[in-house]
């Protein structure tokens, strides 16, 4: 009975909050807060890669467990950062009272804290589809540091242009269930360069804003929340990003690399909130996220 009363109190508090954040059901948030009120901050993490996992994953991704299941890679991640953040809370060794510096407004913290998650994301090993389905809320990709990637949309009733001011110094923030994630270019991985940023749920790779030292073919003029927009790049530049050292291990699927079907993603070539990683559209048929 006592736990039920606590759950009801938390639900009321969440429903009355004036700063809505990429939310799941209030009851799930309440249960998450009851089961785990804190997550121990650490600057290290554990990674594991099963038989058959390509080198480009095992040699570039950290803080994940990746296995092969049939025609899919299965990524498991807690989506917990190993660096300083406002959202660790003031009692944590990794707390910092700072936000990402922006040029258009004042920062503020949302009321949430980082909590360990249990994400399982399936990603097609070899995808040749290009049907651009609408992406869902929640995790639709995994960054190379194990943090999940959300699209360019905030929770209904809110906007990313307002939530942007809640991003910590690494351009991430947590939901009301403690799920820490990225919407825009994460400076811990990419900073207007051609770095491998991660993999989308459809199996296509995500690079920084540039094709090597130039921006030929990259996405620009991206519209936040656009129903038909996509950060996909289908041009055939003379070279693809070379800062991904292990690119050659994945060239067996030409849809991910060079050639007439060089489908992949780039972070949108815009500044601050317009530096979107993934939009409301994906390139191909996606796996699953839970």
**What is the SS3 string spanning the chain?**
CHHHHHHHHHHHHHHHCCCCCCCCCHHHHHHHHHHCCCCCCCCCCCCEECCCCCHHHHCCCCCCEEEEECCEEEEEECCCCCCCEHHHCCCCCCECCCCCCCCCCCCCCCCCCCCCCCEEEEEECCCCCCCCCECCCCCCEEECCCCEECCCCCCCCCCHHHHHHHCCCCCEEECCCCCEEECECCCCCCCCCCCEEEEECCCCEEECCCECCECCCCCCCCCCCCCCCCCEECCCCCCCCCCCCCHHHHCCCCCCCCCCCCCEEECCCCCHHHCECCCCECCCCCCCEC
pLDDT tops 70 at residue 99: yes
Do 24 and 33 form a contact (C-beta atoms < 8 A)? no
- Closest by CA to 219, choosing from 278, 268, 283, 279, is 268
The CA distance from 247 to 251, in Å, is 7
The reported pLDDT for the residue numbered 54 is 84
Boundaries of domain holding 192: 1-290
Q: Name the pairing type of β-strands 172-174 and 180-182.
A: antiparallel
The stretch 94-105 carries a mean pLDDT of 92
pLDDT tops 90 at residue 177: yes
- pLDDT level of residue 72 (50, 70, 90 thresholds): very high
Between 1-5, 132-136, 202-206, the lowest mean confidence (pLDDT) is in 1-5
The reported pLDDT for the residue numbered 34 is 40
Between 114-118, 171-175, 241-245, 285-289, the lowest mean confidence (pLDDT) is in 241-245
The residue with greater pLDDT, 203 or 166, is 166
Q: Is the pTM of this model over 0.85?
A: no
The reported pLDDT for the residue numbered 89 is 97
**Phi and psi at residue 198, to the nearest 5°:** 170, -160
The reported pLDDT for the residue numbered 37 is 54
Do 80 and 39 form a contact (C-beta atoms < 8 A)? yes
The reported pLDDT for the residue numbered 100 is 94
The residue with greater pLDDT, 40 or 89, is 89
Distance of CA 192 to the CA centre of its chain: 17
- pLDDT level of residue 194 (50, 70, 90 thresholds): confident
The reported pLDDT for the residue numbered 224 is 53
**Phi and psi at residue 214, to the nearest 5°:** -130, 170
The reported pLDDT for the residue numbered 129 is 80
pLDDT tops 50 at residue 84: yes
- pLDDT tens digits, 125-145: 888 787 777 777 899 999 999
The reported pLDDT for the residue numbered 78 is 98
Q: Which tokens in the block code for residue 138?
A: 């929640």
The residue with greater pLDDT, 37 or 247, is 37
- pLDDT tens digits, 221-266: 555 555 444 566 655 544 445 444 433 333 333 334 444 455 778 8
Do 56 and 252 form a contact (C-beta atoms < 8 A)? no
pLDDT tops 60 at residue 283: yes
Angle among Cα 276, 42, 191 to the nearest 5 degrees reads 25
pLDDT tops 80 at residue 5: no
The reported pLDDT for the residue numbered 221 is 55
The stretch 261-289 carries a mean pLDDT of 82
**Structural domain total, the chain:** 1
The reported pLDDT for the residue numbered 41 is 94
The CA distance from 287 to 157, in Å, is 27
pLDDT tops 60 at residue 11: no
Mean pLDDT of the chain: 77
């Amino acid at each position: 009975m006592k736990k039920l009363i606590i759950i009801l109190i938390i639900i009321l508090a969440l429903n009355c909050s004036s700063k809505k954040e990429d939310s799941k059901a209030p009851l799930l948030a309440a249960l998450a807060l009851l089961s785990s009120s804190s997550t121990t901050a650490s600057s290290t993490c554990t990674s594991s890669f099963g038989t058959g996992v390509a080198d480009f994953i095992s040699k570039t991704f950290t803080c994940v467990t990746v296995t092969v299941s049939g025609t899919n890679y299965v990524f498991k991640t807690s989506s917990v950062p190993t660096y300083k953040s406002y959202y660790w809370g003031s009692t944590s060794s990794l707390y910092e009272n700072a936000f990402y510096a922006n040029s258009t407004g004042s920062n503020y913290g949302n009321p949430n804290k980082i909590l360990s998650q249990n994400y399982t994301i399936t990603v097609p090993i070899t995808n040749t589809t290009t049907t651009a389905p609408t992406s869902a809320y929640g995790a639709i990709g995994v960054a190379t540091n194990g943090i999940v990637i959300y699209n360019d949309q905030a929770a209904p009733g809110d906007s990313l242009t307002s939530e942007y001011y809640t991003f910590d110094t690494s351009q991430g923030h947590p939901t009301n269930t403690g799920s820490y994630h990225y919407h825009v270019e994460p400076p811990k991985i990419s900073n207007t360069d051609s770095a491998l940023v991660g993999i989308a749920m459809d199996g296509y790779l995500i690079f920084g804003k540039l094709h090597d030292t130039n921006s030929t073919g990259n996405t620009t003029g991206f519209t936040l929340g656009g129903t038909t927009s996509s950060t996909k790049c289908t041009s055939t530049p003379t070279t693809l990003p070379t800062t991904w050292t292990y690119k050659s291990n994945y060239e067996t699927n030409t849809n991910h690399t060079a050639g007439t079907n060089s489908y992949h993603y780039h972070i949108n070539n815009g500044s601050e909130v317009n530096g979107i990683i993934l939009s409301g559209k994906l390139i191909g048929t996606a796996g699953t996220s839970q």
